Homo-oligomer: A and B are copies of this chain.
Amino acid sequence: MKAAIIGGTGYSALELIRLINKHPHLELGPIVSSSNAGTVFSEVFPHAAGTIDNRMASFDAEKISKEAEIVFLAVPSGISKTLVPDLTAYGVRCIDLSGDLRLTSPDAYEKWYGHTPAGEEIIGQAVYGLSEIYSDYIKNSRIIANPGCYPTASLLGLLPIIKSGLADLQSIIIDAKSGVSGAGRGVSLGTHFSEVNENIKAYKLGSHQHIPEIEQILSKEAGKPVLVTFTAHLVPMTRGILATLYVNLTESILLEEVRNLYREYYSSHPFVRVRPEGNVPATKEVAGSNFCDIGLYLDERTNRLTIVSAIDNLMKGAAGQAIQNANLMNGWDVRAGLEDISFYP
């Protein structure tokens, strides 16, 4: 099956291309890049020379529909919402890695993203692609709103305890740390090497656009409004997200019971691995893979649960989960093309 990539020179697109190149059922079709249309991909990215020598094109929905059955949109926010309707009109299935189709509330989108929202019809058709949680919907969808990197790490870590009914829903704190590739390939002082190296900083306190996405899903799954405190941090590394999650429990419970609850919740999901006692994940242990690793600690003195969730932000946090969703949509083995373990070290 041929797959097209829109937004061909960003990091998520690079990762999608890397993955499609070794996928057993997908083949790379058109690469669309408005800024590099007409250029050979491997001239811009010599790491792909001899393998991805396709010439990049500008966007043309009709042409794409003839050359691909599925499209991955790896563009900045504010763009997918105009492209997806065109593409679906031609019968192409879309997996959108941007934030355009994730929020069901147009007002929330406008407030947090600062763009006019996508049309309600498109939003209504889009399925939130958190693969483990919404696989049944994903299988039957034609438009996927692929989750953000922070929401993926946070939600996979939080949902088992939320669903268990044991969580104090007013106590949730997400302290998340990300590698710099999450900020994309666009240059800025905030991602300038000499400013980021040997440095850790918090950013966008209270204003990160992933906050409403996390709250929307938690509220939906909890069945009542949930607000979280979320802090994003920039860490001097390229890949990886570590989310340290804090939740007060409403009942006394043993850590091993919590662990069993997590293991059961993910028992049929090979990409979520719950660590044994005394073992919490590090981002390097999932780098380059589609795994989300989860570690648990319970402070019995305060009955507060600490959950450590680790993903590769470009894999399970973006391109890997997008491929996982493509696998689900096509009825393939969910692991197809995603069998790699981490490129540790």
Residue A194 interfacial (CB < 8 Å): yes
Complex partner residue of A284 from B173, B199, B281, CB under 8 angstroms: B199
CB A230 to nearest CB in B, in angstroms, measures 9
CA separation between A235 and B177, bound complex, in Å?
Answer: 10
Complex partner residue of A193 from B18, B171, B197, CB under 8 angstroms: B197
Residue A301 interfacial (CB < 8 Å): yes
Interface flags, A274-309, vs B, CB<8A=1, else 0:
010001111111111100010101010110101010
Q: How many copies of this kind of chain does the complex include?
A: 4
- Chain B residues lying within 8 Å of A302, measured Cβ to Cβ, are 170, 227, 229
- Contact stretch, chosen from A54-62, A80-88, A124-132, A200-208: A200-208
CB A248 to nearest CB in B, in angstroms, measures 9
**Interface members, chain A 184-221 (any B CB < 8 Å):** 185, 187-189, 191-203, 205-206
| Known contacts A187-B189, A340-B18, A198 near B238 by CB under 8 Å | yes
Interface size on A, residues (CB 8 A): 84
Residue A259 interfacial (CB < 8 Å): no
User: Is the pair A299, B206 in contact by a Cβ cutoff of 8 Å?
Assistant: yes
CB nearest to A228 among chain B residues: B302
User: Is the pair A197, B180 in contact by a Cβ cutoff of 8 Å?
Assistant: yes
- Chain B residues lying within 8 Å of A244, measured Cβ to Cβ, are 175, 202, 231, 233
| Known contacts A205-B306, A244-B175, A301-B227, A279 near B194 by CB under 8 Å | no
CB nearest to A270 among chain B residues: B50
User: Is the pair A281, B201 in contact by a Cβ cutoff of 8 Å?
Assistant: yes
| Known contacts A285-B47, A341-B52, A194 near B177 by CB under 8 Å | no
- Chain B residues lying within 8 Å of A201, measured Cβ to Cβ, are 242, 280-284
- Chain B residues lying within 8 Å of A301, measured Cβ to Cβ, are 227
User: Is the pair A177, B197 in contact by a Cβ cutoff of 8 Å?
Assistant: no
CB A66 to nearest CB in B, in angstroms, measures 27
- Chain B residues lying within 8 Å of A50, measured Cβ to Cβ, are 270, 273
